[in-house]
């Protein structure tokens, strides 16, 4: 995907081979119909650096079990994931599934970890960053904390994620006018994947990433699961205990359907 801010001589295909989709040029594991890139976190960050340097507008998405299940019945989400330049495993269950399917992913590469590392990288590289999503105090708190952590960080702007669909194009144009290089979108799924796929070109950023509830965590308004739970792949359980009414369907039904999809793929092969 290219846009008006692409510089002469810049060509996204230079890094993507003949494929318009960077992910297709990388080793990947097909999980429930989505190609999840087999990259370590360091490799994912390096790949994103190359996307930023290549010019044009690119985006990455992270997937957990619930998102892969949703993409099975939601064509718009599926298309957004298939057209992403990079897809990584946000949930440990996706890594376990890749092992069961015989194409093991190196590791989990979460949205929030990439977000924090890319914010640091942006400060080093002088990339301007725009933050879109979450409630006002959350997005503002995120920006404040990141500026304290990285005083050289160039903030192109920020906006909460509670705008009407009819205001989307205006939000994207405002991002374009801000001359942001990176865009982080924290509006939850599938809203953030839809928004990025539809608007990344209009927003004119070099790279966009959907980061779910990350602004609530980075701002300190919500707590992330302790390290040991993250290591054991139990972050979902921590979140379920804290917000059972909102999340029980996503995790209990979502994880069961995901298991079924993976087992079916393992024994009957991919339907793709």
Binding site for ligand UDP (CB under 6 A): 133-135, 138, 161-162, 186-189, 191, 212-213, 215-216
Question: Which CB, 52 or 185, lies closer to ligand UDP?
Answer: 185
State how far the alpha carbon of 118 is from the alpha carbons of 47, 49, 80, 115, 167, in Å.
12, 9, 22, 5, 28
Residue 161 C-beta-side C-alpha neighbours within 13 Å: 28
Question: Which CB, 55 or 141, lies closer to ligand UDP?
Answer: 141
Q: With beta carbons less than 8 A apart as the criterion, state whether 187 and 132 touch.
A: yes
Q: Considering the complex, what minimum distance in angstroms separates the CB of residue 128 from ligand UDP?
A: 21
Question: Which CB, 133 or 141, lies closer to ligand UDP?
Answer: 133
Q: Considering the complex, what minimum distance in angstroms separates the CB of residue 188 from ligand UDP?
A: 3
Gap between the Cα atoms of 90 and 61, Å rounded? 9
Asked if the peptide bond before residue 244 counts as cis, ω within 30 degrees of 0, the response is no
Gap between the Cα atoms of 269 and 196, Å rounded? 31
Gap between the Cα atoms of 90 and 99, Å rounded? 15
Q: Considering the complex, what minimum distance in angstroms separates the CB of residue 125 from ligand UDP?
A: 26
Residue 57 C-beta-side C-alpha neighbours within 13 Å: 24
Contacts 24+ apart (CB under 8 A), 5-10: 5/176, 5/204, 5/206, 6/55, 6/56, 7/55, 10/54, 10/55, 10/56
> What tokens does 223 get?
């707590």
Question: Which CB, 58 or 67, lies closer to ligand UDP?
Answer: 67
Q: Considering the complex, what minimum distance in angstroms separates the CB of residue 189 from ligand UDP?
A: 4
Question: Which CB, 207 or 215, lies closer to ligand UDP?
Answer: 215
Question: Which CB, 201 or 213, lies closer to ligand UDP?
Answer: 213
Question: Which CB, 56 or 67, lies closer to ligand UDP?
Answer: 67
- Tell me the residue ranges of DSSP E strands in 200-267: 207-210
Q: Considering the complex, what minimum distance in angstroms separates the CB of residue 216 from ligand UDP?
A: 5
Q: Considering the complex, what minimum distance in angstroms separates the CB of residue 267 from ligand UDP?
A: 30
Q: Considering the complex, what minimum distance in angstroms separates the CB of residue 239 from ligand UDP?
A: 7
């Amino acid at each position: 995907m290219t846009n008006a801010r692409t510089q002469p001589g810049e060509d996204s295909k230079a890094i993507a081979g003949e494929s318009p989709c960077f992910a297709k040029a990388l080793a990947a594991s097909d999980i429930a119909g989505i190609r999840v890139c087999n990259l370590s976190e360091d490799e994912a960050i390096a790949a994103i650096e190359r996307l930023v340097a290549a010019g044009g507008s690119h985006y990455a998405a992270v997937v957990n079990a619930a998102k892969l299940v949703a993409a099975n019945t939601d064509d718009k989400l599926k298309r957004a994931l298939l057209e992403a330049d990079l897809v990584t495993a946000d949930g440990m269950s996706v890594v376990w599934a890749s092992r069961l399917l015989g194409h093991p992913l190196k590791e989990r590469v979460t949205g929030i970890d990439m977000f924090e590392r890319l914010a640091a990288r942006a400060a080093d590289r002088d990339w301007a960053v725009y933050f879109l999503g979450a409630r006002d105090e959350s997005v503002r708190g995120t920006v404040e904390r990141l500026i304290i952590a990285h005083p050289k960080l160039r903030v192109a702007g920020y906006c909460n994620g509670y705008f009407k669909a009819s205001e989307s194009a205006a939000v994207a144009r405002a991002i374009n006018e801000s001359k942001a290089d990176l865009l982080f979108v924290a509006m939850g799924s599938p809203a953030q994947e839809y928004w990025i796929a539809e608007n990344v070109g209009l927003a004119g950023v070099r790279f966009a990433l959907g980061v779910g509830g990350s602004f609530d965590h980075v701002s300190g308004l919500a707590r992330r699961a302790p390290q040991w739970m993250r290591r054991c792949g139990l972050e979902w359980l921590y979140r379920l205990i804290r917000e059972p009414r909102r999340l029980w369907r996503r995790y209990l039904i979502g994880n069961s359907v995901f298991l079924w999809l993976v087992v079916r793929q393992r024994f009957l092969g991919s339907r793709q």
